Structure 1
Amino acid sequence: MSSSISKTYRSFLDKMTEDKKEYRKVFLLFAYLFFVVSASTIGRTAADTLFLSRFDNSYLSLMYLPQALVMITAGIVFQRFSPKVRLETLLKLMIPLISTFVLISRFGVGLELRWVFPVIYIGYDVFNFLMIVCFWQFATSVMDQRKAKQMIGLVGSGGIMGGILSGFGLKVLVPLVGTANLIYVYAGLQLLGLVVVFVILAMTKDLGDSKPAQARKAASKSSSVQQKGGLFANVPHLKYVAILAAALVVSLTLIDYQFKVILRGTLQNEALAGFMGSFYGFSGLIALGVQLFVSGRVITRFGVMTALLIFPIALFAGSLGILVLPVLAMAVVVKGSDKVVGDTIYSSVSQLVMFPVPPEWRNKAKGFLDGIVRNGAKGLAAICLLLVTRFVAPEKLSYIVLVLLVVGIFAGIKVKKAYLTTLLSNLKTGGDDLQKVELNLMDSVTRQILIDALNGSDKGQALYAFGLLKETSSFDLTPHLDSLLRHSIPEMRLETLAYVEMKVPEGFEPILQEQIASEHVQVRAKAIIALSAYAEEDYVDEITVHLDDPSVEVQAATIAGLVKYYSIEGMFRAVGKLKDMMESGHEEERIAMAALFGQIRVKNFYKPLISLLQDNSPLVRIRALESAAILHVPPLLVPIIGMLKDSKTRRYAIDALAAYDEDDVLLQLAPYLEQQEISLYLPAVFERMGTQRAMDMLFACYEAAPYALRDRILESLQRMSKQLLQPDSSKVEAYIFQELTLYAQFAEHGACVVGVDDYAEIEKMIDEIRTAITRRVFLLLALLKDGQTMQAVFLDWSEGDSRQQANAEEVIDQTLQGTLRTEMAKFMAGSRKLPKVAASKVELNLHLSWLAEQGDEWLTPTIQYHTLRKSETVVNAELADLMHRVQLLRRVSLFQGLTSRDLSVIAKRLHKMTAEQGNLIIKEGDPGDSLMLIDEGRAGIYRNKQLLGELNLGDCFGEMAILTNSARTATIKAEENMVLWRLDSSVFYDMMFDQTSIAVEMMKLLSRRLRSELERGQGKGQASVVEQVEEQAGDQGQALVEGQGEVQEQVQEQGEDGNEAARSELVLAQAEAAAASLQEPQAATELTRDEVILRRILVLQKIDLFAHLGPNDFMWLAQMVEEVAYEPGEAICRAGDFGDTMYGIIEGSIRVHRGSEEFALLGEGAFFGEMAIIDSGPRSADCTAKDSAVLLQLHRDLVLSFCFQNIDVLRSMMRVIADRLRGMI
Structure 2
Amino acid sequence: MINYMQKWMKIRPREMGLFLGSVALIFLIRCAGLIFNNFAETAFLKRFGVSWLPVLYIVNPMITLFFLEKLSSIKPHLSAYRRLSFLLFSCGTMAFFIWVLMFMEGRFLYPILFVMKVQFETLLSVFFWNLGNELFNFHQSKRLFPLITIGGVLGDMGGNLLTVGVSQVVAINHLLLMYGAVLISAAVMTRYLGNRFPLQVVPKKPKVATKEESTFLKRIVGMGPLMKKSTLVPVMVGLTFFANVVLPIMNYQFNVAVDHRFGGENAMIVFFGTFRGAMNVVSILLLFFSGRFYGRWGIPMALLFHPMNYLLVFLGFLFRFDIFSAMYARFSTNVIRTTFNQPVNNMLIGIFPDEYRSRMRPFLRGVVARAGLITGSCLILLTTTVLPPHYLSIVALPFVVGWIGTVIFLKFKYAALIIRLLGANFLDLRSTEAHVIKKLFHDRQIQDKLLDNFKSSRGIDAFFHARLLKYLGMENLDNHILNNLKYQDSATVIKLLPLISGQCGDRFFRILKKMINVADEPLTLAMIRVAQPRNTKACRKFYQALEQQCRSRGVQTCVSPEIRAHSAACLLMEMSEHRRELMGQWMRGANLDHVHAAIIAVAESGETVYVSLLNQLLNRGASHERLLPALIRALKKLDPDGVTHRVALFLNHSRVEVRMAALEALEINDDDGLRRRVLALVGDRSDKIRTLAIEKIKICPHCNGRLLFEFLYPASRKMREGIFEILKALDIKDPDMFAFFEGEIRKACICLAVSRALEKLPRNLSCRLLIRHLSEIRHVHIQAGLRVASINDDSGQVRLILRSLFSRDHRRRSNALEALESTMHPRLVRQIMPFLDGTAPEDILKSLYRQPGGAERLFEPVKALEFLLQSDSRLTVRLARGVLETLPQDVLDGDIKTTKTLCTGQLFQGNANADRLEDFSSTEVVMENSLSFQEKIVYIQKVDIFKNLAINELAAISDIAQEVAFAPKEILFQEKEFADTMYICVEGAVSASRNNVGVGTFNPGDSFGMSAFLVDSKRLLTCRAKESTRLLEIHKQEFEEMLMEYPQISFEIAKIHARMIQRLLEQIQAEDTHESLMKDFFNKHKHMK
Report the TM-score, using the length of structure 1 for normalisation.
0.55
Match for 2:943: what amino acid?
Answer: V
Establish whether residue 860 from structure 1 lines up as the match of residue 864 from structure 2: no
Contact 1:916 1:974 in 2 (8 A): no
Distance in 2, Cα, partners of 1:70 & 1:457: 49
2:507 to 510, 515, 519: 510
1:258 CA displacement: 0.7
- Letter aligned with residue 1018 of structure 2: R
The answer as to whether partners of 1:357 and 1:422 remain within 8 angstroms in 2 is: no
How many angstroms does 1:791 deviate by? 5.1
Q: Does 1:62 align with 2:76?
A: no
1:639 paired with 2:646, answer: yes
Classify 1:644/1:451 alpha carbon distance in 2 versus 1 (closer, same or farther; 3 Å).
closer
1:104–1:135 distance in 2 versus 1, CA, 3 Å: farther
Q: SS at the partner of 2:958?
A: helix
Tell me the SS of whatever aligns to 1:438: helix
1:940–1:949 Cα contact (<8 Å) kept: yes
Q: SS in structure 2 opposite 1:368?
A: helix
C-alpha change, 1:260 and 1:976, in structure 2 (3 Å) is same
Equivalent residues in 2 for 1:713-732, closer than 5 Å: 723-726=731-734, 731-732=739-740
1:973 shift after superposition: 4.0
How far is 1:895 from its partner? 1.7
Does the residue aligned with 2:472 lie in a helix, a strand or coil? Answer: coil
Alpha-carbon distance in 2 for matches of 1:450, 1:319: 40
Residues 761-817 of structure 1, C-alpha deviations (whole Å, 9 max, x = no match)? 855763553243133124234555657655543442222422321122112322456
Deviations 1:830-865 (A, max 9, x none): 179999xxxxxxxxxx98767755623354356468
Percent identity for Structure 1 against Structure 2: 13
Per-residue displacement from partner, 1:899-936 (whole Å, max 9, x unpaired)? 24422331121123455677764466655443333444
Match of 1:608 among 608, 614, 629: 614
| Partner deviation per Cα, 1:176-234 (whole Å, 9 max, x = no partner) | 999999x99x99xx99xx9xxxxxxxxxxxx99999xxxxxxxxxxxxxxxxxx99899
- Any idea what the Cα deviations from partners look like across 1:664-696, whole Å, max 9, x if unmatched? 5669989x99xxxxxxx9x99997787766346
Q: Which residue matches 1:460?
A: 460
| Displacement of 1:741 | 3.8
Q: What residue in structure 1 maps to residue 775 of structure 2?
A: 770
**Counterpart contact for 2:611–2:638, Cα < 8 Å:** no
Q: Secondary structure of the residue that 1:458 maps to in structure 2?
A: coil
Query: Does the 8 Å contact 1:740/1:777 carry over to 2?
Result: yes
Which residues in structure 2 correspond to 1:895-1044 (within 5 Å)? 895-914=946-965, 921-922=972-973, 927-935=978-986, 936-940=988-992, 942=994, 951-959=1002-1010, 966-968=1016-1018, 970-974=1020-1024, 976=1026, 979-994=1030-1045, 996=1046, 999-1003=1047-1051, 1005-1006=1053-1054, 1009-1010=1057-1058, 1013=1061
Q: Is the 8 A contact 2:547 2:567 kept in 1?
A: no
CA contact (8 A) 2:53 2:252 kept: no
TM-score by length of 2: 0.60
Residue 625 to residue 127, structure 1, CA distance change in 2 (3 Å)? farther
Instruction: Within 5 Å, give how 1:1043-1192 maps onto structure 2.
Output: none
Q: 1:907 to 1:530 in 2, by over 3 A?
A: closer
Q: Which residue matches 1:225?
A: none
Residues 657 and 420 of structure 1, relative CA distance in 2, 3 Å threshold:
closer
Unaligned runs of 5+ in 2: 1-6, 14-18, 187-195, 201-220, 386-391, 551-559, 681-689, 844-858, 869-875, 889-903, 905-925, 1073-1089
Q: Is the 8 A contact 1:941 1:973 kept in 2?
A: yes
Shift of 1:882: 3.4
SS at match of 2:586: helix
Q: Residues 75 and 770 of structure 1: is their aligned pair in 2 closer, same or farther, counting only changes over 3 Å? A: farther
Structure 1 residues 367, 546: CA separation in 2 closer, same or farther (over 3 Å shift)? same
Query: Residues 178 and 524 from structure 1, CA distance in 2 versus in 1: closer, same or farther, beyond 3 angstroms?
Result: farther
What is the rounded CA distance, in whole Å, between the counterparts of 2:397 and 2:419 in structure 1? 33
Partner of 1:1205: none
Q: Out of 240, 257, 260, which is 2:251 matched to?
A: 260
For the 8 Å contact 2:805–2:817, the answer to whether it is kept is yes
Residue matched to 1:805: 813
- Residue pair 2:648, 2:674 contacting (<8 A) in 1 also: no
Q: Matches of 2:278 and 2:952 in 1, distance apart?
A: 76
* SS of match in other structure, 1:906: helix
Task: Quote the residue 2:469 is aligned against.
Answer: 469
Verify the 8 A CA contact 1:937 1:975 in the aligned structure 2. Answer: yes
2:361 is aligned with 1:370: yes
For residue 781 of structure 2, what is the amino acid of its counterpart? R
Counterpart check, 1:694 vs 2:700: no
CA distance in 2 between partners of 1:1011 and 1:813 (Å): 36
Aligned to 2:848: none
Return the match for 1:885 from 916, 919, 936: 936
CA contact (8 A) 1:322 1:398 kept: no
How far did 1:634 drift? 5.6
**Cα deviations across residues 326-353 of structure 1 (Å, max 9, x unaligned)?**
9899999999997798778875765555
CA contact (8 A) 2:230 2:417 kept: no
* Equivalent residues of 2:587, 2:595 under 8 A apart: yes
Partner Cα separation in structure 1 for residue 295 and residue 867 of structure 2: 67
Given the alignment, which residue of 811, 815, 838 partners 1:830?
A: 838
Partner of 1:214: none
In 1, Cα distance between the equivalents of 2:860 and 2:313? 88
CA 1:637–1:345: 2 relative to 1, 3 Å: closer
Counterpart CA distance in 2 for 1:889 and 1:21 is: 56
Check the 8 A contact 1:315/1:337 in 2, yes or no. yes
Please state whether the residue corresponding to 2:877 is helix, strand or coil: coil
8 Å Cα contact 1:250-1:380 kept in structure 2: yes
**Cα separation, partners in 2 of 1:689 and 1:127, compared to 1, 3 Å:** same
For 1:457 and 1:346, the matched residues in 2 are separated by 36
> Paired residue for 1:779?
784
Paired with 2:621 and 2:758, the residues of 1 have a C-alpha distance of: 49
Identify the residue that residue 193 of structure 2 maps to in structure 1. none
Instruction: Measure the CA separation in 2 of the matches of 1:726 and 1:448.
Output: 48
CA deviation vs aligned residue, 1:147-187 (integer Å, no higher than 9, x gap): 989x99x9999999999x99xx9xx99xx999999x99x99
Q: Say if 2:454 and 2:465, in contact at 8 Å, map to a contact too.
A: yes
**Alpha-carbon distance, 1:374 to partner:** 1.2
For residue 983 of structure 1, what is the amino acid of its counterpart?
I
Mean CA deviation greater in 329-338 or 1003-1012: 329-338
Q: Which residue of 1 aligns with 2:3?
A: none
Q: How does 1:391-470 map to 2 (within 5 A)?
A: 391=382, 393=384, 395=392, 423-424=422-423, 426=425, 437-439=436-438, 441-442=440-441, 447=447, 450-456=450-456, 458-470=458-470
Q: Determine if contact 1:928/1:967 at 8 Å carries over to the other structure.
A: yes
Give 1:659-808 correspondences, 5 Å limit. Answer: 659-662=667-670, 694-695=704-705, 723-726=731-734, 731-732=739-740, 735=743, 738-739=746-747, 741-742=749-750, 745=753, 748=756, 766-767=771-772, 769-783=774-788, 786=792, 790=798, 792-808=800-816
Cα distance in structure 1, aligned partners of 2:639 and 2:132? 27
8 Å Cα contact 1:612/1:624 also seen in 2? yes
- Report the Cα distance in structure 1 between the residues aligned to 2:600 and 2:70, rounded to whole angstroms: 54
CA offset digits 1:941-984 (Å, max 9, x no partner):
547x88776655444344366556x3325353426465443222
Which sections of structure 1, spanning at least 5 residues, go unmatched?
Answer: 1-18, 195-206, 212-229, 674-680, 836-845, 869-873, 1020-1057, 1059-1225
Question: Could you say which structure has the larger radius of gyration?
Answer: 2
- For 2:86 and 2:286, how far apart are their aligned partners in 1? 34
Is the 2:976–2:1019 Cα contact (8 Å) retained in structure 1?
Answer: yes
2:140 and 2:486 mapped to 1: Cα distance?
Answer: 32
1:615 deviates by 0.4
